Amino acid sequence: MTGPAVSPASASTHVMGVYSRGDLAFERGEGVRLYSTTGEEYLDCVAGIAVNGLGHRHPRLIKALTDQANKLWHVSNIYRIPEQEALADRLCASSFADQVFFTNSGTEAVELALKICRKYHAAKGAPERIDVITFAGAFHGRTYAAVNAGGYAPYLEGFGPRLPGYINVPFGDMEALKAAIGPHTAAIMLEPVQGEGGGRVFSDEDLREFRRICDEQDILLVYDEIQCGMGRTGRLFAYEWSGAQPDVMVLAKALGCGFPVGACLTTDKVGECMTFGTHGSTWGGNPLAMAVGLAAFDEISKPALLEHVRMLSGYFRQQIAGLHDRYPDVISEVRGLGLLIGIQLKLNNREFMMMARARRLLIAGGGDNCIRMLPALIMTVQEASEVLERFETVCQDARAQLQSKVG
């Protein structure tokens, strides 16, 4: 192999400083473990932020990627792409949807969902219906429309005027939601389980009520299942728990299990407004992405895997409840659904994440001073018990630190 050596020890000064990166780099992954460039082994409960649903180096994904790499990487969407048709068929057969548009990222799928919401009403002669109502704590991505939809002030500051048509209401506040609905309302958009927001879960009753309101007033219901979909909650899609189906749904993250793939799904009734020329993408759904997406889908949609996620999340939940009882000075609340676990802390979540890293446990942060555990769906009970052992040690470290501050 030739080419310049990558030196993680000296962080590049040419990479834009938008991330707060720790001085840690990985060389190799295997299942739920990551190995740093300095040779240390870590247990991975970040999984690339719920991306590596099948862990690292999954043999079926490697085969799908390398087989396709030897055949065809990319062709334009002006030609039929059989792998894309196959993945769209699979997604529609296992969901509410009739049509799929593939993207390269989550936020692009959100962008299309928002366009569809407006186009749907415009095509029905109501172009004034442009408002999309979202909830506090939401995260829908980083394009201009997505940050406006998310409504989180720090992501909006300094980027010019706020876009018209986005209304953010308090989480789960049914009265505020009803008050926000008016003649300009196009859609309600939400994550059935908030990811970046810290694992906050909408109740089944709330989701069914949103569905009822939307039906009554011809408002579109959009689910952002980019993080909570693709098996993470123990069902292929999180909405299956409530049975309240959306009109539009966006997926990404574990859809490609590490290969960048996103998707926007909708029904024929809604999607028919998206006629020739109304949208497009150069790479979205190319053969390489679709080959990996197909393999990932076939693994994640296996009933035995989804059953495993439900079993494993029960184990996590029970064990973490025990930790909550034993460390009430460290943990204030446990949230989430399935293997999207949010734990709200009594000390700074960033500090706690650094302590976990020192114990070779990788966890993600979240809003509301939470940390998130997002293990690969294939984690074994044995590996989970190792995770929980390390996690308890971190709780002890955190307790010692809190006590030293008081004393």
Q: Which is nearer to ligand PLP, 129 or 140 (CB)?
A: 140
Q: Does 107 bind ligand PLP (CB under 6 A)?
A: yes
CA-to-CA separations, 85 to 75, 76, 103, 143, 343, in angstroms, rounded = 14, 14, 14, 27, 39
Q: Does 165 bind ligand PLP (CB under 6 A)?
A: no
Encoded one letter per residue, x for contact with ligand PLP by CB under 6 A and - for no contact, window 26-65 reads: ----------------------------------------
The reply to whether 139 sits near ligand PLP by the rule CB under 6 A is: yes
- Does residue 363 belong to the site contacting ligand PLP (CB under 6 A)? no
Q: Of the two residues 129 and 232, which places its CB atom closer to ligand PLP in the complex?
A: 232
Integer Cα distance of 32 and 30 in angstroms: 6
Q: Is 236 exposed, middle or buried (0-12, 13-18, 19+ CB in 10 A)?
A: buried
Pick the piece of the chain touching ligand PLP (CB under 6 A) from 54-62, 101-109, 182-190, 388-396.
101-109
Per-residue CA distances from 101 to 82, 223, 249, 262 (Å): 14, 15, 11, 8
Q: Contact between 229 and ligand PLP (CB under 6 A)? A: no
**Angle, CA of 232, 338 and 379, to the nearest 5°:** 70
N-term to C-term CA, the chain: 55
Quickly count: other Cβ atoms within 10 Å of residue 298's Cβ: 13
When asked if residue 344 is in the footprint of ligand PLP (CB under 6 A), the reply is no
Show the binding pattern over residues 234-253: x = contacts ligand PLP (CB under 6 A), - = does not.
Answer: ------------------xx
CB of 390 to ligand PLP, least distance (A): 25
Binding-residue total with ligand PLP (CB under 6 A) = 15
Q: Can residue 299 be called a binding residue for ligand PLP (CB under 6 A)?
A: no
Question: Which of these segments, 84-92, 136-144, 308-316, 343-351, binds ligand PLP (CB under 6 A)?
Answer: 136-144
Report d(CA 61, CA 40) in Å as an integer.
25
Instruction: Using CB under 6 A, pick the residue from 206, 224, 299, 383 that binds ligand PLP.
Output: 224
Is residue 232 at the binding interface for ligand PLP, with CB under 6 A as the rule?
no
Hey, how many other C-beta atoms are within 10 angstroms of the C-beta on 140? 30
Can you list the alpha helix ranges (DSSP code H) found in 14-126?
47-50, 59-69, 82-93, 106-123
- Could you list the residues that contact ligand PLP (CB under 6 A)? 105-107, 110, 139-141, 191, 195-196, 224, 226-227, 252-253
